[in-house]
Homo-oligomer: A and B are copies of this chain.
Amino acid sequence: MSDKSKKILDPGVGASYRHRTRRIINPDGSFNVRRVGTLNVIQDAYHWLITIQWIPFIVVITSIILMTNFIYAYIYWLIGIEHIRGAATGLFWDDYLSALFFSVQTFTTVGYGAMSPDSQFVGLIASLEAFNGLLLSAFSTGILYGRFSRPISKIKFSEVALLTPYKESDNMSIQFRIINKRANTVLHMKASVFLSLNVKEDQDGTYSHRRDFYDLSLERSSIMFMPLSWTIVHVIDKNSPLYGITVEELVKRQAEMLITLNGYDETFGQDTYAYHSYVAEEFEANKRFIRNFNVADDGMILLHVNDVDLREDISPKEEN
């Protein structure tokens, strides 16, 4: 057991509110905060392009590239398709399409040459577009690598936290389990667990949404390797602020358990963080986790990644 649990000041999420708030951290890792006045997309374009999902990212980049080509094509069409040597002409769409193909051949620097600038003005615009293409290509390479190289951990948390007896002892404990969905090695994983509890109601009830925070002591607060899953355990002994607590009381006091993990991710060669929270409704009593790995006949350990949530009912006391 590391050090003692202790009451702490607000770990940064606000300690007193006038109304009931939503949970602090959502299951997807976002905070329930609506920000007014942050940097907009233009001011913070890199940050935005790095953090959006892949599908919107591809849509945005494709749109920018297509738009650029449509605009250049329109300019060539305005100048007149007859200034592009070798361009097939015909109706409006034939002309525009010729201009668009010329634009794409210039932007991507393919430059077959079947079409080529036939006036100084087109030559100038085409030069500009070629530089533009190079720049956008450099830019996209940078963003792509930026997206790749963020050390995003794929730590999966069990869906629920358990309020369950600790081994053969008479103490209860809070337990949840994590696993690395990625097959890489995370070294020196460290965990911090905070518990937020609304303070008991005052006589007049005005401050019913004030919260107390506790830094919970852990059975092990760090592990050296994580090839398997890790069950993180807070033992509710007499020194614990949760001594004698029930799931019902956790709900009444709007409990929320905030967790941060960090470790060294060998793939990225960098430190990585993960965080999560369990609200009172995600605590279960009278259950315990079933071990999600076993020894195969060849002596290899067989780890069932998706069984991180596997649990069973407890009736009589057994050894874990």
Contacts and interface: CB of A to CB of B under 8 A. Distances in A.
Contacts of A105: 110-112, 127, 130
Nearest to A58: B135
A168 to B, nearest CB: 13
Given A134-B137, A183-B38, A13 B227 contact: yes
Contacts of A272: 269
Interface of A is mostly: mixed
A59 interface: no
B226 A12 contact: yes
A203 B67 CA distance: 74
Interface residues of A, number: 119
A34 B226 CA distance: 13
B295 A39 contact: no
**Interchain residue pairs A-B with the least CB separation, the first 8:** A12-B223, A113-B113, A114-B116, A37-B305, A110-B111, A112-B113, A108-B130, A142-B145
A160 interface: no
A252 interface: no
Contact of A140 (B10, B85, B138): B138
A4 interface: no
A296 B34 contact: yes
A71 interface: no
Interface in A232-284: 258, 260, 262, 264, 266-273, 275
A110 B138 contact: no
Interface in A84-126: 85, 88, 94, 97, 100-101, 104-106, 108-117, 120, 123, 126
Contact of A113 (B116, B266, B294, B306): B116
